[in-house]
Chains A and B, each alone.
Chain A
């Protein structure tokens, strides 16, 4: 049976990648009306963090073949 932690890993990984990508795009194309603390570029480091945690969960709890 696939572990719940694997599903959580998938969720964090996909969301992290999407947020990281959106952060990079904003970094290269700054918006006309930026959010408060825009220079902190939160989507880049927060997205990267979620993606890394998600990837770790995916690898550690990946479905394994049973004998």
Chain B
């Protein structure tokens, strides 16, 4: 307990004894789950793929939870305060179509090919060079991102609770290392589902009490219009031009950049989330899992965006950007969620809310570590270093890689502590690979004429073009008007358009090179490409058990929500 000393910095909330008991109980439970599952991770299939026996619900909630990190919760609540309800696009247009596309179009190919990973699919479809580029870049970025998130979370705990930064880093990372190394992917998935429930239990009271205090949604809209602008509560009506909304983006950037490229890239090819679906027990579960995830994803704005909007409408103090907060001592946008937590939650509830944040962080970290472990062992170590090891050898390698991956993440966290600018570079680096990778994978699945050289060069050119655009704007900020097509564009618009152009370049290069090179024989592409693959039936089940039925329901709700909040 002596390590939990309050820092010099004034912190937002103070935990009572019952709060501390709730936090400690959480750590004890996740470790208990890890120890319980250690006997069920003895083979490669068990350790890396959770035995491929997860139900649709477990895989679907884990799929969503791996993405529902604490920084995501706090960051997007802050964005909602800053930009209003526009931030919801990252949960609806920026997720739902991609999740349904994954379920209905892409999942059958991932599942039938019995691949262990997304780079593994690239190996089957395009050959070793494409897998090597994808695996090395993914592995590197995953542990670096994990470290960056670890540092950011420790910083949050310091600001919110006054916890020592070293204490937060080591306790959380050792806990994750223990339960993932013991129980493998199954342990990570079980804990992610637990964390999903804790996040909702800890965060749902804020919107309930907030709406009660505001006098309902209608009154909240009036309060926000008085304090900021009416545009803060409209999803689409201000997206006609870059200058008409607080985010500095237009409808084309949201639909084509975010909806069609970035979210498709993230939700369908980022192995961190796809790995959870690959652990499903059958094809129907594998297709239902992303649809279940999509259903809950549509609800996440209730615990993320709504608290930000409630802060905008109800908090007396005006929150400011991080840069201003650092010099003036005022609260920043990112503090809105802890501020709302402290506003409504006394002893007990506060502990649960803080546990929700810690759980969110640890589920994200466990997701990164388990994905890194699989890609390192199956896509780098086995094909490039030691292809003759036994199954037991690779399981052992997986356990050690988990520990080493966590240690690299911790090292990155300390590196970021010394050189803060590294954080921006690492986060940018991660985004470079997502959009081109989606172009390569989707062409590989849907176009049988795509060749190995075409896929490899398309991925390479798309990635290089993304890095070039980022470097161009970094060295000459006025270049943003060319990359994002408007002088009024802001940083988020750059991300959207950069992704769109790099995706298009990847597709163009892949198509041109493929047409100029010799295609693979159809017999080599069976089980990998649309038109040459017999997609297995989900079985003779009632209509309400069919993925297509539930995808239809989710689609209808998605459109109704967008129209209601137009």
A15's contact among B25, B36, B40, by CB below 8 Å, is which? B25
A26's contact among B342, B343, B347, by CB below 8 Å, is which? B347
- Report whether B193 and A43 are in contact in the complex, using a CB–CB cutoff of 8 Å: no
B29's contact among A7, A19, A47, by CB below 8 Å, is which? A7
User: Does B407 count as interface, using CB distance less than 8 angstroms?
Assistant: no
Interface residues on A, range: 20 to 34
- Report whether B58 and A15 are in contact in the complex, using a CB–CB cutoff of 8 Å: no
Inter-chain CA distance A34–B201, complex, in Å, is: 21
- Report whether B194 and A37 are in contact in the complex, using a CB–CB cutoff of 8 Å: no
Q: Identify the stretch in B109-117, B137-145, B205-213, B549-557 within 8 Å (CB) of chain A at 4 or more residues.
A: B205-213
- Report whether A40 and B352 are in contact in the complex, using a CB–CB cutoff of 8 Å: no
A1's contact among B40, B194, B212, B349, by CB below 8 Å, is which? B40
Inter-chain CA distance A38–B190, complex, in Å, is: 35
Looking across the interface, which residue of chain A has its beta carbon closest to that of B314?
A36
Q: A11-B198, A15-B201 are in contact. Are A21 and B346 (CB under 8 A)?
A: no
Q: Which residues of A contact B194 (CB under 8 A)?
A: 4, 7-8, 11
24 examples of A-B residue contacts, CB within 8 angstroms: A2-B36, A8-B194, A10-B29, A11-B25, A11-B26, A12-B197, A15-B22, A15-B25, A18-B348, A18-B351, A19-B348, A19-B349, A19-B351, A22-B346, A25-B347, A26-B347, A31-B346, A34-B346, A35-B346, A36-B209, A40-B209, A42-B205, A42-B344, A43-B347
Inter-chain CA distance A10–B197, complex, in Å, is: 12
Top-8 shortest CB links A-B: A22-B348, A19-B348, A22-B347, A22-B18, A4-B190, A35-B346, A36-B343, A43-B348
Inter-chain CA distance A31–B14, complex, in Å, is: 14
Overall SS of chain B's interface: helix
Q: Which residues of A contact B21 (CB under 8 A)?
A: 18
Q: How many A-B residue pairs have CB under 8 A?
A: 86
Q: A7-B29, A42-B209 are in contact. Are A47 and B348 (CB under 8 A)?
A: yes
Q: Which residues of B contact A21 (CB under 8 A)?
A: 18, 348
| New A-B contacts (14) at CB < 8 Å, excluding given A11-B194, A37-B209, A43-B348 | A4-B58, A10-B29, A11-B197, A15-B22, A15-B201, A15-B355, A18-B348, A22-B347, A22-B348, A34-B346, A35-B342, A37-B213, A42-B205, A42-B344
Residue among B36, B58, B194 with the highest chain A CB neighbour number at 10 A = B194
- Report whether A11 and B29 are in contact in the complex, using a CB–CB cutoff of 8 Å: yes
Q: Which residues of A contact B351 (CB under 8 A)?
A: 18-19
CB A36 to nearest CB in B, in angstroms, measures 5
CB A21 to nearest CB in B, in angstroms, measures 7
Inter-chain CA distance A50–B29, complex, in Å, is: 17
- Report whether B346 and A38 are in contact in the complex, using a CB–CB cutoff of 8 Å: yes
User: Does B345 count as interface, using CB distance less than 8 angstroms?
Assistant: yes
The residues of B with any CB-CB pair to A shorter than 8 Å are 16, 18, 21-22, 25-26, 29, 33, 36, 40, 58, 190, 193-194, 197-198, 201, 205, 209, 212-213, 342-349, 351-352, 355
Looking across the interface, which residue of chain A has its beta carbon closest to that of B39?
A1
Q: Which residues of B contact A19 (CB under 8 A)?
A: 18, 22, 348-349, 351-352
Q: A11-B198, A18-B22, A37-B213 are in contact. Are A46 and B349 (CB under 8 A)?
A: yes
CB A8 to nearest CB in B, in angstroms, measures 5
Looking across the interface, which residue of chain A has its beta carbon closest to that of B196?
A8
Looking across the interface, which residue of chain B has its beta carbon closest to that of A16?
B201
- Report whether B344 and A8 are in contact in the complex, using a CB–CB cutoff of 8 Å: no
Q: Which residues of A contact B213 (CB under 8 A)?
A: 36-37
Inter-chain CA distance A14–B349, complex, in Å, is: 13
Q: Which residues of A contact B193 (CB under 8 A)?
A: 4, 8
CB B66 to nearest CB in A, in angstroms, measures 15
- Report whether B349 and A43 are in contact in the complex, using a CB–CB cutoff of 8 Å: yes
Q: Which residues of B contact A26 (CB under 8 A)?
A: 346-347
Residue among A23, A36, A47 with the highest chain B CB neighbour number at 10 A = A36
Looking across the interface, which residue of chain B has its beta carbon closest to that of A19?
B348
Q: Which residues of B contact A35 (CB under 8 A)?
A: 342-346
CB A37 to nearest CB in B, in angstroms, measures 5
